[in-house]
Amino acid sequence: MNVEICIDSVDSAIAAARGGAKRVELCSALSEGGITPSAGLISAVRAAIDIELFVIIRPRGGDFVYSESELIVMARDIEEAKTRKVDGIVLGILKSNGDVDVERTREMVKLARPLGVTFHRAFDVCTDLGRGLEDVISAGADRILTSGGAANAMQGGDRLAQLQKSAGGRISIMAGGGIRPSNVRALTLRTGVGEVHSSLSKSSDETAEMGSDPYGRRTYLVLEEDVRAFRAAAEATALDTEMDVRR
């Protein structure tokens, strides 16, 4: 069971690595759903951890329909990320009608190689997830991060199971959205996915040592013990599956 943790700082990256994550997705502005981090942050995280580092390529918050100038920015950010020895990128490009923009996604995937490529939760706002799955496969991405088109992965569990079956090993389906140590085992048993994604972050409202801000701004931090608990719960699913196979 591969565990990916979404992070926005060096400290969170270190905590994720120490907690046993296989991979981190590095973002900035998590309050916006994540945008491309700075070159300095990418370099600092790369220097701090040895596990896989994927970087989100998203020039702004909001929708996933990008102008030509925004696509140029994304291409340059991919090239910049490659120079900083990351292992992969995360992106999602849609058309105005809600379909995956296969042509532009394919161009970005080609530019990113030999890095790995994840198509992020822009997938969940596709008008047709079944067609979206085939489109992302056609574009050449390695995995799709999805909640099954629902508000969270537990609500989208049935669709996740369907996507996992339809993928047929052609692409990895990584479940994400509201997954925690308390529900990851049930979710993975229900869906059959082999990868799970979570932020596991706690805000300054929840953790006093992070400090609060008089202007209401919040900071987020991933804790090593939370990642360790999440990984243990996820791995319990793999053990259950292995025992079933042996039986």
Helix (H) or strand (E) segment spanning residue 198: strand 195-198
Question: What is the predicted pLDDT for the residue at 245?
Answer: 36
What string of DSSP letters covers 50-81? -SEEEEE--SSSS-S---HHHHHHHHHHHHHH
Residue 54: half-sphere exposure toward Cβ, Cα within 13 Å:
28
Q: What is the CATH number for 71?
A: 3.20.20.380
**Triad 67, 115, 125: Cα angle to 5°:** 45
**Structural domain of residue 69, as residue ranges?**
2-246
How many Å from the N-terminal Cα to the C-terminal Cα in the chain? 20
Identify the pLDDT of residue 201: 76
For position 168, what pLDDT does the model report?
97
More confidently predicted of 115 and 242: 115
Q: Is the pLDDT of residue 86 over 50?
A: yes
- Residue 233: pLDDT band (50, 70, 90) is very high
Q: What is the pLDDT of residues 90-138, one digit of tens each?
A: 999 999 999 999 999 999 999 999 999 999 999 999 999 999 999 999 9
Q: What is the mean pLDDT of residues 73-92?
A: 98
CB 165 within 8 A of CB 182: no
Q: Is the pLDDT of residue 217 over 80?
A: no
Total of domains in the chain: 1
Q: Is the pLDDT of residue 208 over 60?
A: no
Q: Does residue 244 register a pLDDT over 80?
A: no
pLDDT in the model for residue 61: 95
pLDDT for 15? 97
Q: Is 39 left (phi over 0), alpha (psi -120 to 50) or beta?
A: alpha
- What pLDDT was estimated at residue 216? 52
Beta bridge mates, 35: 28
Answer yes or no: is pLDDT of 169 > 90: yes
Residue 220: what pLDDT?
78
CB of 178 closer than 8 Å to CB of 152: yes
| Cα dist from 31 to 53, 70, 160, 226, whole Å | 21, 20, 25, 20
What is the predicted pLDDT for the residue at 236? 87
Q: Report the mean per-residue pLDDT for the chain.
A: 91
173 DSSP β-pair partners:
144
If phi > 0 it is left, if psi is from -120 to 50 it is alpha, else beta; for residue 115 that is beta
* 196 strand-pairing partners: 3, 175
* pLDDT of 211 above 50: no
At residue 205 the predicted structure's pLDDT band, cuts being 50, 70 and 90, is low
Token output for 198: 């979570």
User: Taken in order 133, 33, 84, 197, is the CA torsion positive or negative?
Assistant: negative
Predicted confidence band of residue 66 (pLDDT cuts 50, 70, 90): very high
| Of 125, 145, 132, 133, the residue nearest 193 (C-alpha) | 145
Q: What is the mean pLDDT of residues 190-212?
A: 73
H/E element, 126: none
Residue 246 pLDDT:
45
Q: Is the peptide bond before 181 cis (omega within 30 degrees of 0)?
A: no
